[in-house]
Amino acid sequence: MVFDMDVYPLSLTQEDYIHACEVTDCWNDNGIEPPVRYIIRKRTVDMARLINEAIENELTESERTTIRLMYFENKKPAEIAQEAGINRASVCRTALRARNKLHSALKYAVMYISDIADSTLTAAAIAQSAQTARALSVEPKSLAQRLCTARTSQALSVDTLADAIGLTAGRIREIENGSSEPSAHELMRYCAFFSLSADKLLNIL
C-alpha cells in the first residue's frame, strides 16, 4: 500500500528523505513537501529557536522562570504566584518586564519571519510559536513525550504527520498522550520519518 507523503522533517537531506520513504513504503511521485508549506514551517522553527535564545540571554532568572511557565506550560499568573508563594501582582510585573524585553529583542526578526508589517502583532506571533519553542528546549521524559516532541519541534500538525506516515490523526493523539503504546511497526514509521534510532526514542543507552 502506498501512502501520500507530502512532508519531510527539516533535519533531513533529500537523500535521507527518499530513504525514509522507501523504508516506510510512503513514497509516491508527488512526495515532496510544497515549498510554501516548507518555508512556513521552517520560519516557525527558526522563530522558536530565536525565542529560546532570547529567553536564555536577555532575561533575568526570575523572568525566565515566569515566562517559561506562562509560554511553555500555559500557567496563569495566579497559578504561578500560588506555587511560588508570592504575590500575583509581582508575577504580573515580572511577566510584563520579560515580555517587553523579548519584544524589544525579537521585534524585527519576528516581523520578518512571520511576514507581518505591524509590530503590535509581535506578542501574538511569539506566543504562537511557544509550543515549538518548548519542544526545542525541554527534555522529554517518556516515549509518548519524545514522539510528541519529534513532531512539535518540526512544527508539524497531528493531521500532517498522520498523512505523512500513514496513521490516523486519532491514533497519533493516542500515542502522544500516552493512552496507547505504539506498535513496533508504528515506531519504525516514526524512526524512519524523523531519522531517529529506536534506541533514542526508547531512551535505551
Domain boundaries, the chain: 14-33+140-201, 37-137
Place of cell 497531528: 158
CA-to-CA separations, 152 to 5, 33, 58, 90, in angstroms, rounded: 18, 17, 24, 32
Q: Mind listing the pLDDT tens digit of every residue in the chain (205 residues)? A: 334 445 555 655 555 544 544 444 443 445 566 777 777 788 889 999 999 999 999 999 999 999 999 988 889 999 999 998 999 999 999 999 999 999 999 988 888 877 777 777 788 888 878 889 999 988 888 999 999 999 999 989 898 888 888 899 999 999 999 999 999 999 999 998 888 888 888 876 5
And the C-alpha cell for 3?
501512502
Architecture per CATH, domain 14-33+140-201, reads as Orthogonal Bundle (1.10)
Has this prediction a pTM greater than 0.75?
A: no
Place of cell 513532531: 151
Number of alpha carbons in the 13 Å side-chain half-sphere of residue 205: 0
SS3 25: coil
Rounded distance, CA 125 to CA 118, Å? 11
Q: Specify whether the backbone of 85 is left (phi greater than 0), alpha (psi in -120 to 50) or beta.
A: left
SS3 57: helix
Q: Report the candidate in 24, 47, 30, 16 with the shortest Cα–Cα distance to residue 125.
A: 47
Looking at the domain that runs over 37-137, which CATH code has it been given? 1.10.10
Q: What is the pLDDT of residue 11?
A: 57
